Amino acid sequence: MANVLHVDFEQPGTSSKAIENIQSVLNSGGVIAFPTDTFYGLGADPFNPDALSRIFQIKQRPADKPLLVLIHSLDQLADLTQEVTDSARQLMERFWPGPLTLIFKAAAGLPDALTAGTGTLGIRLPGHPFTRELLETLDRPLTAPSANISNAQELQTARQVENTLGEKLNLIVDGGPAPGGKVSTILDTITNPPTLIREGALSRSDLESVLPIQ
């Protein structure tokens, strides 16, 4: 059963020890669960093929479905994408941080499992304060597909994750309940105009307040 690590960024001494633990797990190719700005997600090093393979096994996820990546800084896009279009920049300026996942052309050399051979990658800069602080403190992007078996109900608390996936994970980061609610909106910024893939927390009209959407 995975260890459950309670993290409180209001207690720096405690959180610094916890971050060392999390970094060690990630560096060794482990998989963690942590709260995102929607539900709990599965975090791993997006540049480690073995860690990515474990996520697919844990989730029983089809191999043709790419993995989402969370970032804490726009600077991290350079290691993950080939191009950031003008449309993407407008959307990021308006809606990031927040529940908008943007699809980009993936950078060359990323693991095939990350992109599922599509050559594209979904990226989000989350709005949830805990998630952002975790990413900033770790100073690395993390994968963040939902912490559940594929097509099963999303999980909102560390206890739910422990009960469902605890035997398969290396570590569960308990930062309190995830906000839940609607899933993130997904928008393909490679096309011109961008294409709405999934309408979630942000509506089509929200997006169209910035630029045309197909």
| Alpha carbons 1 and 11: distance in angstroms, whole number | 26
Q: Which residue has the higher pLDDT, 181 or 34?
A: 34
Give the range among 5-9, 40-44, 71-75, 172-176 with minimum mean pLDDT: 5-9
pLDDT in tens, 27-73: 999 999 999 999 999 999 999 999 999 999 999 999 999 999 999 99
Tell me the pLDDT tens digit for each residue of 122-156: 999 999 999 999 999 999 999 999 999 999 999 99
Band of pLDDT at residue 171, cut at 50, 70 and 90: very high
Q: What is the model's pLDDT at position 199?
A: 96
Residues with Cβ < 8 Å from 200, sequence gap 6 or more?
99, 182, 183, 184, 185, 186
Please tell me the predicted confidence (pLDDT) of residue 8: 87
Predicted confidence (pLDDT) at residue 21 exceeds the cutoff of 90: yes
Domains of the chain listed by start with CATH number: 3-208 (3.90.870.10)
What pLDDT score was predicted for residue 16?
Answer: 83
- Tokens 């260890």 belong to 3
The stretch 153-161 carries a mean pLDDT of 96
Q: What is the pLDDT of residue 99?
A: 92
In the sheet that 32-35 helps form, which strands lie side by side, from edge to edge?
3-6, 171-174, 32-35, 40-43
| 81/84 Cα distance (integer angstroms) | 7
Report the distance separating Cα 31 and Cα 172, nearest Å. 9
Q: How far is CA 129 from CA 97, 98, 170, 180, in A?
A: 10, 10, 24, 14
Q: Is the pLDDT of residue 15 over 80?
A: no
**pLDDT at residue 10 tops 90:** no
% of the chain residues with pLDDT over 70: 99
Residue 37 backbone zone (phi > 0: left; psi -120 to 50: alpha; other: beta): alpha
Phi, psi torsion values for 196, nearest 5 degrees? -80, 115
Would you state the structure tokens that stand for residue 125, as one six-digit string?
């800069």
Tokens at residue 104, please?
Answer: 């980009």
Q: Which long-range contacts (CB under 8 A, 24 or more apart) does 115-121 make?
A: 115/66, 116/63, 116/64, 116/65, 116/66, 116/67, 117/64, 118/66, 120/66, 120/188, 120/190, 121/66, 121/69, 121/80, 121/81
Beta-carbon neighbour count of residue 164 at 10 Å? Answer: 18
Tokens 């990031």, residue located: 96
- Per-residue pLDDT at 54: 97
